[in-house]
A and B are shown apart, each in its own frame.
Chain A
Amino acid sequence: MAELLFWPAFLAYGEAAFAYAGDARRPGSMGRLATWGVRIGWLVQTALLVAQAAGANGFPWDTWAGSLNLFVWLVVGAYLIWGCKPRFRLLGLVVMPLAALLLAVSYVAGGVGGSGRSGYSTLFLVAHVGLVLAGFAGLTLAAALAALYLWQERELKRRSSTVLRFRAPSLVTLESLFGRTVAYSLPVLTLGMAVGFARLRHDSQLDPLIVLTVLTWAVYGGFLLLRFGAGWHGRRAAYTTLAGFALVVAMQLSLHMGHFA
């Protein structure tokens, strides 16, 4: 059942990605198609996750591929908070291709099927994996906003005559949003990490994923410290957000294997 739901979710996300590309070239009805693609895809993926949870014996997303599936759902869910507004459609052009790609990777790697068995309790996994992935989803969105900020800033600096064509949010709005998104996401990540550390087994070793997570936390923690302490804004802040996101990508794509084994 769960695997059957993958295809409509994937197709809806894919449709949204293509429609956002079309909307960027020529704003109009394609934007609305994209928005509906995101909404429908997210609802279908929600059903997919519910089906997985109903059919699983324990926490169904304790594998790398499974967590990727949950991560995509969280990213798109966070995007849906304001991403459907016309001014934020360019953000969809960054988020939805990534969502479609990661969902496909998750499917190929078996993330939409049954779960592996973990030695950890379901409650712990829900709290730890859920919170850490929610934090990462927020940071992913912050990175997309920072990328959009840098693109917009470059267009304004270049005095491009087409700068008004794309109906993007203003520079100040983007700058404030990616800063706030990091500020909201980091406490969630911190809580998830704290839950993980609290249950770290005595015989466990610090695996590379834990080290990288702590490093990511330090980068974003430094970002917030500099932002609120030393008034870091603008381009430097956007580049720092993207640097932190590079670590999130590294974790999601390569270092998750075996973490819950």
Chain B
Amino acid sequence: MSLVLVGTSHRLSPVEVRERVALDLEGSAALARRMAGGGEAVCLSTCNRTELYLVDADPDAAEARASGVLLGDEVELYRMTDEAAALHLFRVAAGLDSLVPGEGEILGQVRDAYEAGAHGPVLDRLFREALRVGKKVRTETAINESPASVSSAAAALAQQVFGDLAGCRVLLVGAGEVSELAARALTARGATISAVTSRTEANARRLAEAFDARAVPFDRLGEELERADVVVSSTASPEPVLSRDEVPDRKGRPLFVIDLAVPRDVDPAVARLDDCYLYDIDDLQAVVRESLSGRRREAERAEAIVEREAERFRDWQASLQVVPAIASLRARAESIRSGELAKAEGRLEGLSESERRTVESLTTQIVNKLLHVPIVRLKQAAATEGTGYVEVARDLFGLPDDDAGQSRKPRK
């Protein structure tokens, strides 16, 4: 049986093409069931890709069916089989095929697709391995640890100052979209938006309601600063709204100030105050650039992990190819053994029950020992050299060829 992958992704197709073959989870599940037809099929459809994984004895026919469903005449598709297909899925699960290397959302999407799919032994193993590899890559490398956007960089830096952000009070100065994005990143990591202030009070109230915070008049900024641990400032003011003199003595309590405005809202001299840490938009963008280059460096290590795991999957898949031959070999040996024992029945009549069991056991052991090395060699050879040895074994031992269709060499 061959593993076949047909699909398209952001690397091949723009969004206006991808949206034509995109499916929600229910649609993916229905398509998988339809494509499996009693066999195995999983459909992975996200905003960046739609892919069909099939297991079929005839890979060309499977490819053709999948291409038809995915509008192969109109949409540019990639087609892969066996080890290449496994490697691709492992890369996808590890986030190596994502726009932002190592992003975490894809792992959940792979899991959902797997659970909704029609899987049997091959796709079950493939997807479970992919999920394991995805986790392994994220554990053994730092690919997903650094922020990929300005707002997540601001939140990560706040964590670098305070550790756990639970209980951290955030003051939003300015109630625009930028403040909201930063606030969402901070609350996602446990911080609490305590107050929102803006020159336009209605905007402050709207944002405060969204985060269950207080809206405070702009002229009370100084009072709120005393209570805040993190300040996010993003107003459209042409002049700084926060000067060095307005920041109260922190008495050893850190204050992290995120200035997302252009022109800047916060006097740069604030950075020189004890216990105050000020990051403006350029600083945050530099952190994001460094972080993305760090992700790319980590991606090289992740690729090595993924390749090793794909090789292991290939070995497992190759071992499947020799299973029928090994079963035939064992059956043939056992039939010879039991046949010879039956022939000798007349000469064994005088044996006691215990002696008979000894003869049974002895002959079984002889057969097993004779077969052990050939079976091990067959498995090893299947992993490294395809199934040529299987053909030789069939020939040498005169095994039936009824499962020849399953002993094809894996396509690369």
Residues of A near any B CB (own CB < 8 A)? 26-29, 152, 156-157, 159, 161-165, 167-173, 231-235, 237
Are B163 and A169 within 8 A (Cβ)?
A: yes
Residue from B161, B163, B251, B274 within 8 A of A156 (CB atoms): B161
Within 8 A of A (CB), among B115-147: 140-142, 145-147
The answer to whether B283 has its CB under 8 Å from any CB of chain A is yes
Return the contact of A157 from the options B146, B253, B271 (Cβ within 8 A).
B271
A172-B254, A231-B252, A234-B252 known; A163 vs B157 contact (CB < 8 Å): yes
Closest approach, in angstroms, between the C-beta of B283 and any C-beta of chain A?
4
In the complex, chain B residues whose CB is within 8 Å of the CB of A168: 160
CA distance in complex: A164, B277 (Å): 15
**Are A164 and B163 in contact, with the CB atoms below 8 A?**
no
List B contacts of A29 (CB < 8 A). 140
Given A28-B142, A170-B160; 18 other pairs, CB 8 A cutoff: A27-B142, A29-B140, A156-B157, A156-B277, A159-B271, A159-B278, A161-B287, A161-B290, A164-B156, A164-B160, A165-B146, A165-B290, A167-B145, A168-B160, A171-B162, A231-B251, A233-B252, A234-B275
Instruction: Kindly supply a per-residue 1/0 record for chain B positions 73-108, scoring 1 wherever the CB is within 8 Å of any chain A CB and 0 otherwise.
Output: 000000000000000000000000000000000000
Least distance between B363 CB and chain A CB atoms (Å): 50
CB distance from B106 to the nearest CB of A (A): 21
* B301, CB-defined interface residue at 8 Å: yes
Residues of B within 8 A of A171 (CB): 160-162, 254
Residues of chain A within 8 A of B283, CB atoms compared: 159, 161
Assess whether A170 is in contact with B279, with CB atoms less than 8 Å apart.
Answer: no
A-B pairs, 8 with minimum CB distance: A233-B252, A170-B163, A161-B286, A161-B290, A159-B283, A173-B163, A156-B277, A171-B161
- Shortest distance from the beta carbon of B287 to any chain A beta carbon, whole Å: 5
Within 8 Å of chain A (Cβ to Cβ): is B291? yes
Name B291-309 residues within 8 Å CB distance of A. Answer: 291, 294, 297, 301
Are A164 and B162 interface neighbours, CB within 8 A? Answer: no
Are B252 and A164 neighbours in the complex by a CB distance under 8 Å? no
Provide the B153-170 mask, 1 if CB < 8 A to any CB of A, else 0: 100110111110000000
Q: Show 17 A/B contacts (Cβ-Cβ < 8 Å), sorted by A.
A: A27-B142, A28-B141, A156-B160, A162-B290, A164-B145, A164-B147, A164-B153, A165-B294, A169-B163, A171-B160, A171-B162, A172-B163, A231-B251, A232-B252, A233-B251, A234-B252, A234-B275
User: Out of B254, B287, B297, which one reaches A164, CB within 8 Å?
Assistant: B287
Contacts of A152 in B (CB 8 A): 160
Q: How far, in whole Å, are A232 and B251 apart by their CA atoms in the complex?
A: 8
Hey, which chain A residues are within 8 Å of B162, CB to CB?
A: 170-172
B289 at interface by CB-CB < 8 Å = yes
What is the CA–CA distance of A237 and B159 in the complex, to the nearest angstrom? 21
Which B residue's beta carbon lies closest to that of A232?
B252
Tell me which residues across on chain B come within 8 A of A167, comparing CB atoms.
Answer: 142, 145
**Would you give the shortest CB distance from B300 to chain A, in whole angstroms?**
10
**Among B146, B159, B279, B297, contact of A159 (Cβ-Cβ < 8 Å):** B279
A244 to B283, CA, bound (A): 36
In the complex the two chains form, what is the Cα distance from A158 to B299 in whole Å? 28
Give the complex CA separation of A237 and B252 in angstroms. 10
Give B275 Cβ to nearest chain A Cβ, in Å. 6
Complex: A159 Cα to B252 Cα, angstroms: 19
Q: Which of A27, A163, A231, A234 contacts B160 (CB 8 A)?
A: A163
Contact residues of B between 226 and 271, Cβ < 8 Å to A: 251-254, 271
Q: Tell me how far the C-beta of B411 lies from the nearest C-beta in chain A, rounded to whole angstroms.
A: 34
- A162 / chain B contacts, CB cutoff of 8 Å: 290
What is the CA–CA distance of A232 and B286 in the complex, to the nearest angstrom? Answer: 33
Min Cβ gap A195→B in Å is: 35
**CB atoms of A164 and B157 under 8 A apart:** yes
Residues of B within 8 A of A233 (CB): 251-253
Q: How many angstroms from the CA of A147 to the CA of B142 in the assembled complex?
A: 25
Question: Hey, which chain A residues are within 8 Å of B253, CB to CB?
Answer: 233
Task: Look across to chain B and name the residue whose beta carbon is closest to the beta carbon of A153.
Answer: B277
| Known A28-B141, A170-B159, A171-B160; contact A164-B146, beta-carbon cutoff 8 A | yes
Instruction: Give the shortest distance, in Å, between A154 (CB) and chain B (any CB).
Output: 11
Which residues of chain A have C-beta atoms less than 8 A from B274's C-beta?
Answer: 234-235
Name the residue on B nearest A168 (C-beta): B160
Provide the bound-state CA to CA distance between A178 and B376, in Å.
58
Given A29-B140, A159-B279, A235-B274, also A172-B287 (CB < 8 A): no
How far apart are A257's CB and chain B's nearest CB, in angstroms? 41
Find chain B residues with CB under 8 A from A170 CB.
159-163
Cα(A233)–Cα(B251), bound, Å: 8
Which B residues touch A156, using CB under 8 A? 157, 160-161, 277
Which residues of B are found within 8 Å of A232, using beta-carbon distances? 252
Distance, CA A35 to CA B192, complexed state (A): 36
Residues of B within 8 A of A157 (CB): 271, 277
The docked-state distance in angstroms from the alpha carbon of A29 to that of B305 is 12
CB within 8 Å of A: which B193-223 residues: none
Q: Which of A161, A165, A173 contacts B289 (CB 8 A)?
A: A161
Q: Which residues of B contact A164 (CB under 8 A)?
A: 145-147, 153, 156-157, 160, 287, 290-291
